Amino acid sequence: MSRIVKVIAAVTLLWAMGLAAVAQAQSADFNALARVDAAQSRLTQVEDRVTLDLALSQGVPYRAYTLEAAGDVPRRLVLDFREVDWQGITPEALGQAEAIGGLRFGAVRPGWSRMVLDLARPLVLDQAGLRILPESGAARLRIVLRAASAEEFAALSGAPHDPAFDLPAPEPVDRTARPRVGEGPLVVVLDPGHGGIDPGAERDGLSEKELMLTFARELQDVLVRDGNFEVVLTRTDDSFVSLDRRVALAHAMGGQVFISLHADALSEGQAHGATVHLLSDSASDAASATLAERHDRDDLLAGIDLTGQDDQVAGILMDLARQETQPRAERLAQALVAGIRGAELPLNSRPVRRAAFSVLKAADIPSILLEVGFLSSPRDLKNLRDPAWRLQMAEAIREGLTLWVAEDAILSDLVRQ
Ligand SMILES: [Zn+2]
């Protein structure tokens, strides 16, 4: 095992070294937020040319690029900005263009905002320019798109070669020094689902992204007070974090278990009660497959391209590491279910399920995705709104983790003998 981990660490380090330059650029000083002036901003279309004019209170660094369609996610234009405040502006206020199927914007990582336009047909960048008005210091960004063939669009599209944009700054981690489970506090990575430009499920003015950040903080308190856990969060504010970044952060933080927290809405069937998902190539049912697809799709809609990330050699090494990790993740799922059952909180009738969730793909960290409840279930929605109920759920998860630590320490001793 340790040899596999070392090789993975070496691969990760090589890949991380290439990112250092960009990470440095990102640590440059922050200016105040630029505000968008809705009254002076608009989206217009004349024949096959689409123009987006954005009035900003000051100039900001930005980048623009197009992405190919993927599955049912259409072709997109992505605009990234440093520190833009979108408050008070709505997609409707910008106007409509027949060639633009949808438009959304929001925080994408600390310090960065993103606007994504769904393209109803192939349109490529014709002009992109930011002009500073000398008298006021305000800025005008103009993006012009022109019609193109599908081939030309494909040739000109793709995320800029800047992988560090969404990945944590590299930090040397001595993996050989990672403590075994049962020696010292367990490092738990809590991953509040969704965030920023991706709200997750929404019901009655409540969004999954806000609810899961609140619950992650409450669970963190319960675990830290216990004394046997150290807790880190993959996000601590309302920013978008890609699935790859969540996994990379778990490694960078030295996580020993990874728990992704969700409260999705499912229209098909009546999903209710806590459900634990494990990583698998084949989904255990249609609902799990839908959830996994929806979460990967959220990344694509937010302008993150997941394609071409794993190279083959790393893939084989990861498969080997996964063979050791997967039984530990299975026991983690069972232990959490036991904790929730012991507290007599609502559990799904089939509480452990499997599907291809990208966020669970860390090869050497037991990872599960917990649907704490479903916003589409009136009973779960009522529970999730109730701080006293959430506290009970947090305590049940703590019980489950405590069970797992005891079991994992014994079983890994057996493996060693
Ligand atoms: Zn979710």
Report the first-to-last Cα separation within the chain, whole angstroms.
Answer: 14
Binned at pLDDT 50, 70 and 90, residue 398 comes out as: very high
Q: Separation of 208 CA from ligand 1 center, angstroms?
A: 7
Distance, CA of 370 to CA of 276 (rounded, Å): 5
Distance, CA of 271 to CA of 131 (rounded, Å): 51
Distance, CA of 79 to CA of 63 (rounded, Å): 6
Res. 167: pLDDT tops 70: no
Res. 258: pLDDT tops 90: yes
Quickly list H helices, 149-285: 150-156, 208-226, 243-252
Strand ranges across the sheet with 186-192: 229-233, 186-192, 257-262, 367-371, 274-279, 347-355
Binned at pLDDT 50, 70 and 90, residue 300 comes out as: confident
Residue 175 falls within a domain, yes or no? no
Q: Separation of 280 CA from ligand 1 center, angstroms?
A: 17
Partners of 79 in beta bridges: 64, 115
pLDDT single digits (tens) 104-153? 988 887 778 899 999 999 999 999 888 888 888 899 999 999 999 999 99
φ and ψ at residue 42, rounded to 5 degrees:
-160, 160
Contacts of 290 (CB under 8 A, 6+ apart): 266, 268
Distance, CA of 153 to CA of 333 (rounded, Å): 44
> What pLDDT is stored for residue 268 in this prediction?
64
Q: Separation of 270 CA from ligand 1 center, angstroms?
A: 16
Q: Which two tokens stand for residue 83?
A: 């520190």
Do the strands 206-207 and 62-67 form a parallel or antiparallel pair, or are they unpaired? unpaired
Give the range of the structural domain holding residue 332, as residue numbers without chain letter: 186-416
Q: Separation of 388 CA from ligand 1 center, angstroms?
A: 22
Q: Separation of 236 CA from ligand 1 center, angstroms?
A: 16
**Residues within 5 Å of ion ligand 1 by Cβ?**
193, 200, 262, 264
Do 199 and 249 reside in the same domain of the chain?
yes
Binned at pLDDT 50, 70 and 90, residue 322 comes out as: confident
Q: Separation of 257 CA from ligand 1 center, angstroms?
A: 19
Do 248 and 145 reside in the same domain of the chain?
no
Q: Separation of 209 CA from ligand 1 center, angstroms?
A: 8
Q: Separation of 274 CA from ligand 1 center, angstroms?
A: 13
Q: Separation of 127 CA from ligand 1 center, angstroms?
A: 37
> What pLDDT is stored for residue 416 in this prediction?
63
User: Mean pLDDT, to the nearest integer, of 394-414?
Assistant: 91
Do 83 and 201 reside in the same domain of the chain?
no
Do 118 and 213 reside in the same domain of the chain?
no
φ and ψ at residue 368, rounded to 5 degrees:
-135, 160
Contact (Cβ atoms closer than 8 angstroms) between residue 143 and residue 100: no
Q: Separation of 263 CA from ligand 1 center, angstroms?
A: 6
Q: Separation of 265 CA from ligand 1 center, angstroms?
A: 8
Q: Separation of 374 CA from ligand 1 center, angstroms?
A: 9
Distance, CA of 243 to CA of 356 (rounded, Å): 12
Q: Which two tokens stand for residue 407?
A: 């079991």
Q: What is the CATH number of the domain that holds 93?
A: 2.60.40.3500
Q: Separation of 130 CA from ligand 1 center, angstroms?
A: 36
Q: Separation of 172 CA from ligand 1 center, angstroms?
A: 31
What percentage of the chain exceeds 70 in pLDDT? Answer: 82
Counted domains in the chain: 2
> What pLDDT is stored for residue 207 in this prediction?
94
H or E element at residue 288: helix 286-301
Do 105 and 148 reside in the same domain of the chain?
yes
Residue 180 falls within a domain, yes or no? no
Signed CA dihedral, 257, 259, 260, 266: sign only? positive
Q: Separation of 415 CA from ligand 1 center, angstroms?
A: 35
Q: Separation of 279 CA from ligand 1 center, angstroms?
A: 15
User: Mean pLDDT, to the nearest integer, of 318-340?
Assistant: 88
Do 208 and 351 reside in the same domain of the chain?
yes
Dihedral (C-alpha) 49, 196, 74, 356: value to the nearest 10 degrees?
Answer: 170
Q: Separation of 369 CA from ligand 1 center, angstroms?
A: 9
Residue 261 falls within a domain, yes or no? yes
Q: What is the pTM of this model?
A: 0.79
User: Mean pLDDT, to the nearest integer, of 164-183?
Assistant: 60
Residue 183, CA distances (Å) to 115, 135, 170, 256 in order: 46, 63, 26, 11
Do 244 and 120 reside in the same domain of the chain?
no
Residue bearing the bigger pLDDT, 370 or 161: 370
Binned at pLDDT 50, 70 and 90, residue 183 comes out as: confident
What average pLDDT is seen over the chain? Answer: 84
Residue 302 falls within a domain, yes or no? yes
CA 81 to chain CA mean position, Å: 19
Do 393 and 311 reside in the same domain of the chain?
yes
> What pLDDT is stored for residue 135 in this prediction?
87
Distance, CA of 104 to CA of 158 (rounded, Å): 19
> What pLDDT is stored for residue 311 in this prediction?
47
Residue 169 falls within a domain, yes or no? no
Q: Separation of 12 CA from ligand 1 center, angstroms?
A: 28
Residue 164, CA distances (Å) to 11, 13, 15, 107, 388 in order: 16, 13, 10, 17, 40
Distance, CA of 65 to CA of 333 (rounded, Å): 40
Helix (H, G, I), strand (E, B) or coil at 254: coil
pLDDT single digits (tens) 7-63? 333 333 333 333 333 333 333 333 468 899 989 999 999 999 999 999 999 888 888
Residue 166 falls within a domain, yes or no? no
Q: Separation of 305 CA from ligand 1 center, angstroms?
A: 19
> What pLDDT is stored for residue 361 in this prediction?
83
- Picking from 156, 175, 200, the residue at the C-terminal end of a domain is 156
